[in-house]
Amino acid sequence: MAAMTFVWLSVLLVCVHAKCKWQFGNSCYQLLTQTMTFDEALQACSAMGAGLVVPDSHSENQFIWEKFASNLTTDGKVWIGCTDKHTEGRWMYAGDAGKECTFYCWAPGEPNILELEEHCAQMWHFHAGKWVDFTCSAFATVICEYYSSLEVTCRQADADGRFA
């Protein structure tokens, strides 16, 4: 039981440390305030011990889009952690060699295989959260995702580090 408690506390502390903004199922999300390129976004999330957000279902995609859209302060684009940089048309988790993305929410006409320089996925306001493939050197908003096999509960601590 002690080991299980330790794991739970570790997950909870990660969420608090990251100032977790939203929770959905076993994931905790942090919206970063600065726009950046796809590779910069990967590095920023990795430095926080997280990954670039990758929705695994329609309901998670919709949840992320609604939360992002309600906090929209940028041009309305957010990176998704799927890329076909290595093999055109084969969308893989960025930074996780060999793991293929299994859920997609492409906008009509996407991914656009005619544009060979578009290797990174984004949610885009023009398509109400549906995905487009885009050039990886463009700037977009970043949402980092922390995942746990345990149900995650993210709570905000007060200034002294205590929970209400």
Residue whose structure tokens are 């995905």: 131
Spatial neighbors of 74 by CB under 8 A, at least 6 apart, are 35, 140, 141
Helix, strand, coil abundance in the chain, percent, nearest 5: 25, 25, 50
pLDDT at residue 59 tops 90:
yes
From CA 107, how far away is CA 104, in angstroms rounded? 10
Spatial neighbors of 22 by CB under 8 A, at least 6 apart, are 28, 29, 31, 63, 64, 67, 154
Q: Mind listing the pLDDT tens digit for each residue in 69-119?
A: 887 665 789 999 999 998 888 999 997 767 899 999 999 999 987 767 899
Averaged pLDDT for residues 22-34: 89
Confidence of residue 5 (pLDDT cuts 50, 70, 90): very low
- Name which of 117, 154, 110, 123 is nearest 136 in CA terms: 117
Q: Using an 8 Å Cβ cutoff, are 69 and 125 in contact?
A: yes
Q: Is 162 left (phi over 0), alpha (psi -120 to 50) or beta?
A: beta
Degrees (nearest 5) of the Cα angle 25, 26, 27?
Answer: 95
From CA 18, how far away is CA 123, in angstroms rounded? 22
- Predicted TM-score (pTM) of this structure: 0.77
Mean pLDDT (the chain, rounded)? 80
Q: Where are the domains of the chain?
A: 29-147
Going across the sheet that includes 51-52, the strands are: 22-24, 27-31, 143-147, 51-52
Residue whose structure tokens are 């023009």: 126
pLDDT at residue 16 tops 50:
no
Q: Using an 8 Å Cβ cutoff, are 137 and 37 in contact?
A: yes
Q: Which CATH number fits domain 29-147: 3.10.100.10, 3.40.50.150, 3.30.565.10, 3.50.50.60?
A: 3.10.100.10
Tokens of 5: 């408690």
